[in-house]
């Protein structure tokens, strides 16, 4: 019995779900998303709710039941309200600025790091040291945010680097010094 897979999916006004044999298409006010459909599972839409069901209790279908429900739920939320992640640059001289469709980072290297903004994700520079990555696809927003964070990950001694807004960086004690 899948606890997540059996939960109904609430469909806000303006959201439609179309399921074919190999993919599910979700259309909403912010756009259209597609997710793969697994054989042996089906989506029943009744009124403003959708329910994912499976045809048997095989081990593989039980594993994919909750997965498909979560993927469809993420698409419904993405097409109605969208997803966003906020990144913070922490360090002396670290900053980001937007130049056209590119975001230019000064991260203490001998060169600037340039990120070409993907077509399906929007990267906004809120302040010199604050970025907001937003879009309708949860996976792409997280992937682009992780790519930006990978330019300069937070280090444990001074905490310098790019981190998520609510991320706690575990700090290490520095060198103890010489004992006489």
**Domain boundaries, given as residue ranges, for the chain:** 9-80, 83-164
- Whether 1 shows a pLDDT value over 60: the answer reads no
pLDDT average, residue stretch 11-28: 90
Token digits of residue 82: 């969208």
Q: Which residue has the tokens 């809120």?
A: 126
Helix, strand or coil, per DSSP, at residue 74: helix
Superfamily for domain range 9-80: Ribosomal protein L6 (3.90.930.12)
pLDDT average, residue stretch 110-136: 92
Q: How deeply is 168 buried, as exposed, middle or buried, from its count of CB atoms within 10 A (0-12, 13-18, 19+)? A: exposed
Q: Same CATH fold, 83-164 and 9-80?
A: yes
Which of these ranges, 136-140, 150-154, 170-174, has the smallest mean pLDDT? 170-174
**What is the architecture, at CATH level 2, of domain 83-164?**
Alpha-Beta Complex (3.90)
Token digits of residue 156: 């444990």
User: Cβ contacts of residue 110 below 8 Å, gap of 6+?
Assistant: none
Cβ–Cβ < 8 Å for 161, 146: no
Q: What percent of the chain shows pLDDT beyond 70?
A: 97
């Amino acid at each position: 019995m899948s606890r997540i897979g059996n939960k109904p999916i609430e469909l806000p006004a303006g959201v439609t779900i179309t399921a074919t044999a190999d993919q599910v298409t979700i259309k909403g006010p912010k756009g259209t998303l597609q997710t793969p459909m697994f054989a042996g599972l089906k989506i029943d839409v009744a009124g403003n709710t959708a329910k994912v069901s499976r045809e048997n209790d095989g081990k593989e279908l039980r594993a994919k039941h909750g997965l498909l429900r979560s993927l469809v739920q993420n698409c419904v939320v993405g097409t109605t309200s969208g997803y966003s992640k906020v990144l913070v640059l922490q360090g002396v001289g670290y900053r980001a600025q937007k130049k056209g469709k590119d975001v230019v980072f000064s991260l203490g290297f001998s060169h600037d790091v340039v990120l070409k903004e993907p077509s399906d994700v929007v990267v906004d520079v809120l302040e010199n040291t604050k970025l907001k990555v937003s879009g309708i696809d949860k996976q792409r927003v997280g992937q682009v945010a992780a790519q930006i964070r990978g330019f300069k990950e937070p280090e444990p001694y001074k905490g310098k680097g790019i981190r998520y807004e609510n991320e706690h960086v575990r700090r290490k004690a520095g060198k103890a010094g010489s004992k006489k």
